[in-house]
């Protein structure tokens, strides 16, 4: 069994006369939850006949031999079941027995039973690692029986297979590893049989009053056992498990079990067992778990529960699982560098004072230091191995390791053999230095210079490494910024204390960066990483300074640190003196105290702003009265400030802080819900050298592609098919054109095939007149299961521009992409209707001022508008930036930020709220009618309204991910929750870009939250490009008129015509300048 921090060590006692191999158990047990007891009979089949068999059981089980064989209690040799869940020392009280068998006998029966009822107790070893666990429990709340509880006869180190028949009271269900081969939940008892014929490390059994859900996909049964009915939650977990399993099957090898189940525990856990995971009731409802911790548990079925760990030689599987799950997800979201930097920072912050050890000595996670080594160092080793071998050979090595060792115990040596077999290279030194040595190298950069030599430039640099003992053999990435706008990437081999390297370039080197993306396991310097809370969380014997006259809330918060007897803090009031050079937490209820004022001043150069009654962090202002702030100090001594005026709620904060160690600052609301997190600016890396004054390292390249992608829930190929069909219509989809009519017919036909119902009349087409213009909106309905009269709308316009100047406009991103996504969502909801009805509408006339959506809103009338919860409009969603999805119109309900935050957590896809509401698309027609409505779009597109907006440029996998975010949003809106709040008013939106007659070439940064309009890009050959305006500069005024945001900018330039000139005030990094531009025709 694998857990988030578990190691089950079997009793290493002699098993005289027993052949090595797999022991078969045929267990028939009845559980009595109310009395905390059970009765069982186990038919034990040995791999070969034996004279005797020794085994352990939980104390008090009183085993007997129904066959009449001699059974004797013998010394237990320690009396407990070894290390238990979460690395807890000891385990359940155990007794040891020996049964004597007649010659030739290899199978016998044992009858036994009794109480197993060990209550939950906190396994606190330090503040940053605290949890609850039990050695085994049967209770009226549920049962949890790991192998270490001794609920079945355990011999020694042998693997097991089993058939486990469990009888429970009516209304109860059991879950164990393997396949459920029989199930009868009705009648006076609930009886199930769980069978696993492949060798296993152990057996774990859980039970409870579960509501069961299941689905079949890819030959596997996906299940969810929940303590309260929740079909939506169950579906998400089953779909996510199937999606990630498909990915890992492609990467590693076939999923090794017949089922995978999510099981809701009755206390907070994060355990992974063969073919199921046991998660706590709060954990499974955290929205981010689905795309963070949950894939980690799924992957353990390959590593740890598929290929077992030979713990005596070191636990290789936790680091590998973290790399292929947690790191892969971060890399998929463009945050791989950040994830590795955090792993290295944790090592530097936590692994101190003799807490280091080699990977061959790692058994389980029991502290932040052991996690930083066993997970962090190990995953960095696998990352370096991947870079060394390249992705193809790395994955081939994993497949070889898996296929050769599935259902057997394996070690680092087996990993080495697998990778050497697939690569053909000698990897002995690589594995030995990273698994057998403790510590980490520290890199030094010196002697960096460049000089011209003929037509070339020569770059010289000197690299060194510092460590105790022999030097590592390191492959170190080097990135060189050149003055021709490019960056060269090199890799150097450093296998001594120091070495010199030279490179020749045709352009002048401007800057050098050593390991800029944290690809090498090493001890990072403080200047490379933002000061983080992990520094103080990992500090030795910190001082905790309470506010003057601190109340119970502050004292309870401070007491949460007092967990580790070997690292107890000193807690005292501030008036007893400052911390001096000691690591310290400063707790404060007022920003006006002298120590607090000084602490806040020290952070201003690193990103802290605000004045008076608020602090400004990450571009947002947070009032002091309604927020709690946790701020890491930036000095050489670890420190942090907790500033709060909500003392009564501070105990809630105590349990949360250890989970935020990678951040520099945290903001919580009065209820201690996290509002925002972030990092200070790093002081500056000693591994970066700027060679020419004023130069900067080149921007980072596109993130490295992940090793795999989970199977999408929505079909990229079907979305591509739709986008190509709509974009390829002859003559385009201009107003009243044959192409537009053909597009309407195509969409209506798809609605019918999907199974939607007409919204009104006998077909899907809603025909409207707008002056002389004949409009056709297309509407199809999925009727709600329980609230059919209440509706949510998902919309996308399907019209585009008419031909002009001999050009046809395909309109792939605008907005064939939105229609393609809308059809995929319609397929999903037609197959699984939610509580409320969902109306899918493809609007006509959007390009001519939202004519179609205005007409539709007008025909709805007040009654139907009142029954409409909200609208999600999809427009220009075919290309995504690193910021994910942009959202317009979020001010139409104060619930939108919370709904979208949850959707991003679940899907792992980020979103950005655009601070101003623009008259951008059809959602505005609903907001004007008092209905909350948003638009999702992918961000600025240089092909917008151009003949180059073609379907080959769309990112269909990114569209599939965005569809998941829309689904999460629509699931909430179409669920049983109350209607979200309506717009408080309908302020005039900024003028549509379509009404402007001039162009400047600005591609705005919709994620920018400050004053002005920041350029994310400038179109080549445009007026702003000719004036020398660069990406990243902020436009502050146009023609003397201040620009506060996109609304002001749009209004300002709409006053000009082609050929007019105006002065633009622009700013970057506090430096302002003015440029004069001549407007061109739009």
Residue 686 located in a structural domain: no
Comparing 1053 with 180, which gets the higher pLDDT? 180
pLDDT tier at 76, thresholds 50, 70, 90: confident
- Say how many CA atoms lie within 13 Å of 235 toward its Cβ: 13
Residue 685 located in a structural domain: no
Q: 120 and 259, same structural domain?
A: yes
Cβ distance 528 to 348 under 8 Å? no
Residue 612 falls in which region: left (phi positive, over 0), alpha (psi -120 to 50) or beta: left
pLDDT tier at 575, thresholds 50, 70, 90: low
**Calpha distance 625→784 (Å, rounded):** 43
Cβ distance 172 to 207 under 8 Å? yes
What is the residue range of 136's domain? 2-10+18-297
**Calpha distance 646→360 (Å, rounded):** 47
CA nearest neighbour of 50 among 92, 106, 11: 106
- Say how many CA atoms lie within 13 Å of 409 toward its Cβ: 17
Write out pLDDT tens, residues 691-750.
Answer: 998 888 998 898 899 999 998 889 999 999 999 999 999 999 999 999 999 999 999 999
Residue 238 located in a structural domain: yes
For residue 474, what are its two tokens? Answer: 């390191």
Q: Above 90 in pLDDT, residue 780?
A: yes
Final residue before a domain boundary, out of 393, 419, 435: 435
Name the CA dihedral angle for 296, 300, 301, 306, rounded to a multiple of 10 degrees. 160
CA nearest neighbour of 487 among 461, 528, 459, 449: 459
Average pLDDT (158-179) is 96
For residue 573, what are its two tokens? Answer: 């009031």
Pairing verdict, β 868-874 and 787-797: parallel
Q: 210 and 161, same structural domain?
A: yes
Q: 404 and 336, same structural domain?
A: yes
pLDDT tier at 7, thresholds 50, 70, 90: very low
pTM, rounded to two decimals: 0.83
Residue 1023 located in a structural domain: yes
If residue 57 lies in a helix (H) or strand (E), which one and from where to where?
A: strand 52-58
Average pLDDT, the chain: 90
pLDDT tier at 186, thresholds 50, 70, 90: confident
**Calpha distance 486→1038 (Å, rounded):** 33
Residue 979 located in a structural domain: no
For residue 924, what are its two tokens? Answer: 């505005």
Query: Residue 953: its pLDDT value, please?
Result: 97
- Which residue spans within 456-542 are E strands per DSSP? 456-466, 474-482, 487-494, 498-505, 509-514
Q: 452 phi and psi, to 5 degrees? A: -80, 140
Cβ distance 81 to 94 under 8 Å? yes
Q: 1070 and 942, same structural domain?
A: no
For residue 112, what are its two tokens? Answer: 């036994």
**Calpha distance 285→262 (Å, rounded):** 12
**Calpha distance 332→703 (Å, rounded):** 9
* Helix 412-423 / helix 378-405 crossing angle, nearest 10 deg: 80
**Calpha distance 861→813 (Å, rounded):** 32
pLDDT tier at 919, thresholds 50, 70, 90: low
Final residue before a domain boundary, out of 236, 268, 297: 297
**Calpha distance 288→879 (Å, rounded):** 24
Write out pLDDT tens, residues 444-454.
Answer: 999 899 999 88
In sequence order, the 6+-apart residues with CB closer than 8 A to the CB of 134 are 85, 118, 119, 120, 121, 144
For residue 416, what are its two tokens? Answer: 């080495």
Final residue before a domain boundary, out of 486, 504, 528: 528
**Calpha distance 255→406 (Å, rounded):** 11
Q: 804 phi and psi, to 5 degrees? A: -150, 140
Least confident of 236-240, 318-322, 415-419, 652-656: 652-656
pLDDT tier at 12, thresholds 50, 70, 90: very low
Write out pLDDT tens, residues 591-600.
Answer: 888 788 889 9
Query: Residue 973: its pLDDT value, please?
Result: 96
If residue 233 lies in a helix (H) or strand (E), which one and from where to where?
A: helix 231-251
Residue 122 located in a structural domain: yes
Return the number of other C-beta atoms located less than 10 Å from residue 648's C-beta. 10
Residue 202 located in a structural domain: yes
If residue 778 lies in a helix (H) or strand (E), which one and from where to where?
A: strand 773-782
**Calpha distance 14→18 (Å, rounded):** 9
Residue 688 located in a structural domain: no
Query: Residue 13: its pLDDT value, please?
Result: 32
**Calpha distance 378→102 (Å, rounded):** 49
Q: What is the CA radius of gyration of the chain?
A: 32
Instruction: Please list, residue by residue across 921-949, b when 16 or more beta carbons sit within 10 angstroms of its beta carbon and e when fewer do.
Output: bbbbbbbbbbbbbbbbbbbbbebebebeb
Write out pLDDT tens, residues 324-354.
Answer: 999 999 999 889 999 999 999 999 989 987 8
Q: Above 80 in pLDDT, residue 128?
A: no
**Calpha distance 181→193 (Å, rounded):** 6
In sequence order, the 6+-apart residues with CB closer than 8 A to the CB of 999 are 1022, 1023, 1079, 1080, 1081, 1082
Name the CA dihedral angle for 17, 19, 21, 24, rounded to a multiple of 10 degrees. -50
Residue 795: which CATH number? 3.40.630.10
Write out pLDDT tens, residues 636-686.
Answer: 889 999 999 998 989 888 878 888 888 999 999 988 888 899 999 888 899
Q: 140 and 281, same structural domain?
A: yes
CA nearest neighbour of 697 among 706, 684, 679: 684
Q: 275 and 260, same structural domain?
A: yes
In sequence order, the 6+-apart residues with CB closer than 8 A to the CB of 520 are 380, 384, 443, 474, 475, 476, 477
Q: Above 50 in pLDDT, residue 14?
A: no
Q: 626 and 522, same structural domain?
A: no
**Calpha distance 193→213 (Å, rounded):** 18
CA nearest neighbour of 195 among 82, 106, 275: 275
In sequence order, the 6+-apart residues with CB closer than 8 A to the CB of 536 are 542, 583, 584, 585, 632, 633, 638, 639, 640
Q: 489 and 616, same structural domain?
A: no
Write out pLDDT tens, residues 542-571.
Answer: 899 998 878 888 988 888 876 666 778 888
Q: 492 and 537, same structural domain?
A: no
Q: 202 and 314, same structural domain?
A: no
Name the CA dihedral angle for 91, 92, 97, 99, rounded to a multiple of 10 degrees. -100
Query: Residue 131: its pLDDT value, please?
Result: 59
**Calpha distance 1013→1044 (Å, rounded):** 7
- What is the per-residue DSSP string for 827-879? HHHHHS--SEEEEEEEES-GGGTSHHHHHHHHHHHHHHHHTEEEEEEE-S-S-
Residue 572: which CATH number? 3.30.379
Cβ distance 735 to 848 under 8 Å? yes
Average pLDDT (1054-1063) is 90
Q: Is 871 exposed, middle or buried (0-12, 13-18, 19+ CB in 10 A)?
A: buried
Write out pLDDT tens, residues 833-870.
Answer: 999 999 999 999 999 999 999 999 999 989 999 999 99
End-to-end CA distance of the chain: 64
Place of tokens 């899918």: 840
- What is the per-residue DSSP string for 796-807? EE---PPPBTTB
pLDDT tier at 54, thresholds 50, 70, 90: very high
Average pLDDT (296-308) is 97
**Calpha distance 980→872 (Å, rounded):** 13
Place of tokens 């709409």: 1054
Query: Residue 771: its pLDDT value, please?
Result: 79
Q: 132 phi and psi, to 5 degrees? A: -115, 150
Write out pLDDT tens, residues 224-269.
Answer: 999 999 998 999 999 999 999 999 999 999 999 999 999 999 999 9
Helix, strand, coil percent values for the chain (each to nearest 5): 30, 30, 40
Residue 457: which CATH number? 2.60.40.1840
Q: 1000 and 968, same structural domain?
A: no
**Calpha distance 1018→1031 (Å, rounded):** 6
**Calpha distance 942→431 (Å, rounded):** 48
Q: 195 and 175, same structural domain?
A: yes
Total domain count, the chain: 6
């Amino acid at each position: 069994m694998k857990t988030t921090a578990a190691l089950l060590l079997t009793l290493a006692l002699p098993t005289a006369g027993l052949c090595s191999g797999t022991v078969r158990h045929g267990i028939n047990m009845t559980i009595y939850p109310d009395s905390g007891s059970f009765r069982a009979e186990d038919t034990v089949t040995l791999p070969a006949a034996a004279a005797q068999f020794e085994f352990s059981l939980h104390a008090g089980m009183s085993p007997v031999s129904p066959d009449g064989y001699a059974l004797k209690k013998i010394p237990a040799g320690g009396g407990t079941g070894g290390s238990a869940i979460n690395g807890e020392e000891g385990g359940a009280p155990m007794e040891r027995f020996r049964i004597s068998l007649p010659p030739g006998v290899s199978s016998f029966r044992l009858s036994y039973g009794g109480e197993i009822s060990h209550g939950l107790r906190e396994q606190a070893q330090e503040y940053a690692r605290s949890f609850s666990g039990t050695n085994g429990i049967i209770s009226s709340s549920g049962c949890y029986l790991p192998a270490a509880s001794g609920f079945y006869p355990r011999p020694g180190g042998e693997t097991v297979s089993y058939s486990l028949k469990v009888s429970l009271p009516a209304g109860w269900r059991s879950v164990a590893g393997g396949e459920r081969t029989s199930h009868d939940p009705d009648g006076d008892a609930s009886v199930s049989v769980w069978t696993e014929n492949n060798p296993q490390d152990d057996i774990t059994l859980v039970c409870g009053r579960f509501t069961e859900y299941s689905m079949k996909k890819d030959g596997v049964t996906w299940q969810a056992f929940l303590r309260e009915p929740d079909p939506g939650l169950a579906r998400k977990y089953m779909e996510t498990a199937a999606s990630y399993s498909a990915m890992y099957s492609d990467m590693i090898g076939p999923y090794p079990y017949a089922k995978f189940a999510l099981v809701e525990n009755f206390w907070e856990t994060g355990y992974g067992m063969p073919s199921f995971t046991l998660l706590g009731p709060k954990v499974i409802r955290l929205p981010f778990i689905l795309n963070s911790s949950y894939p980690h548990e799924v992957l353990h079925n390959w590593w740890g529960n598929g290929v077992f760990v030979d713990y005596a030689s070191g636990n290789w599987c936790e680091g590998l699982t973290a790399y292929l799950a947690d790191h892969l997800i971060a890399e998929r979201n463009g945050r791989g560098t950040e994830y590795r930097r955090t792993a290295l920072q944790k090592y530097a912050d936590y692994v101190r004072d003799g807490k280091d050890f080699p990977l061959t000595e790692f058994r389980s996670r029991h502290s932040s230091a052991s996690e930083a080594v066993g997970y962090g160092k190990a995953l960095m080793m696998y990352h370096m191995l991947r870079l060394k071998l390249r992705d193809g050979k790395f994955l081939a090595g994993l497949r070889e390791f898996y296929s050769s060792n599935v259902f057997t115990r394996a070690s680092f040596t087996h990993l080495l053999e697998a990778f050497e077999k697939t690569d053909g290279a000698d990897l002995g030194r690589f594995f030995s230095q990273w698994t057998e040595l403790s510590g980490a190298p520290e890199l030094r950069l010196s002697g960096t210079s460049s000089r011209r030599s003929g037509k070339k430039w020569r770059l010289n640099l000197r690299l060194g490494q510092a460590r105790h003992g022999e030097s590592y053999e390191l492959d170190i990435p080097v990135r060189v910024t050149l003055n021709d706008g490019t960056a060269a990437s090199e890799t150097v081999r450093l296998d001594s204390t120091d070495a010199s390297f030279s490179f020749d370039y045709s352009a002048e080197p401007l800057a050098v960066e050593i390991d800029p993306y944290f690809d090498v396991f090493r001890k990072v310097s403080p200047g490379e990483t933002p000061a983080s809370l992990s520094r103080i969380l990992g500090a030795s014997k910190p001082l905790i300074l309470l506010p003057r006259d601190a109340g119970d809330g502050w004292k309870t918060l401070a007491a949460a640190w007092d967990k580790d007897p070997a690292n107890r803090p000193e807690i005292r009031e501030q008036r007893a003196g400052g911390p001096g050079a000691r690591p310290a937490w400063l707790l404060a209820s007022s920003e006006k105290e002298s120590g607090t004022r000084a602490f806040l001043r020290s952070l201003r150069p690193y990103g802290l702003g605000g004045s008076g009654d608020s602090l400004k962090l990450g571009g947002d202002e947070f009032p002091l009265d309604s927020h709690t702030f946790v701020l890491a100090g930036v000095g050489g001594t670890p420190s942090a400030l907790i500033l709060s005026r909500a003392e009564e709620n501070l105990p809630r904060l105590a349990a949360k802080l250890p989970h935020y160690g990678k951040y520099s600052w945290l903001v919580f609301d009065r209820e201690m819900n996290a509002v925002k997190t972030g990092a200070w600016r790093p002081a500056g890396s000693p591994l970066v050298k700027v060679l020419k004054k004023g130069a900067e390292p080149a921007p980072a390249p596109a993130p490295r592609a992940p090793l795999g992608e989970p199977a999408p829930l929505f079909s990229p190929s079907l979305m591509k098919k739709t986008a190509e069909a709509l974009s390829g219509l002859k003559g385009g989809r201009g107003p009243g054109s044959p192409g537009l009519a053909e597009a309407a017919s195509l969409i209506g036909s798809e609605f019918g095939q999907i199974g939607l119902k007409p919204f009104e009349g006998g077909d899907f087409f809603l025909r409207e007149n707008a002056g002389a213009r004949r409009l056709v909106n297309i509407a199809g309905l999925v009727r709600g299961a329980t609230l059919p009269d209440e509706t949510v709308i998902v919309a996308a316009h399907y019209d585009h521009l008419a031909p002009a100047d001999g050009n046809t406009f395909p309109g792939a991103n605008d907005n064939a992409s939105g229609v393609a996504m809308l059809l995929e969502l319609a397929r999903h909801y037609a197959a699984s209707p939610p509580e409320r009805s969902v109306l899918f509408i493809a609007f006509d006339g959007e390009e001519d001022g939202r004519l179609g959506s205005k007409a539709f809103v007008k025909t709805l009338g007040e009654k139907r508008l009142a029954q409409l919860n909200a609208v999600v409009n999809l427009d220009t969603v075919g290309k995504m930036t690193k910021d994910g999805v942009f959202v317009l119109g979020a001010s139409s309900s104060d619930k939108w930020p919370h709904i979208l935050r949850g959707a991003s957590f679940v899907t792992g896809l980020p979103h950005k709220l655009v601070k101003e509401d623009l008259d951008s698309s059809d959602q505005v027609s609903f907001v004007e009618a008092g209905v909350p409505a948003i638009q999702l779009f992918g961000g600025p597109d240089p092909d917008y309204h151009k003949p180059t907006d073609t379907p080959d440029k769309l990112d269909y996998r990114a569209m599939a991910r965005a569809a998941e975010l829309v689904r999460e949003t629509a699931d909430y809106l179409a669920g049983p929750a109350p209607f979200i709040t309506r717009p408080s008013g309908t302020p005039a939106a900024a003028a549509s870009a379509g009404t402007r007659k001039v162009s400047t070439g600005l591609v705005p940064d919709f994620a920018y939250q400050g004053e002005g309009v920041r350029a994310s890009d400038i179109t080549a050959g445009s007026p702003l490009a000719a004036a020398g305006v660069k990406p990243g500069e902020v436009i502050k005024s146009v023609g003397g008129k201040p620009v506060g945001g996109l609304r002001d900018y749009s209004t300002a330039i709409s006053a000009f015509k082609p050929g007019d000139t105006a002065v633009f005030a622009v700013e970057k990094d506090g430096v302002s300048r003015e440029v004069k531009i001549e407007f061109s025709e739009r």
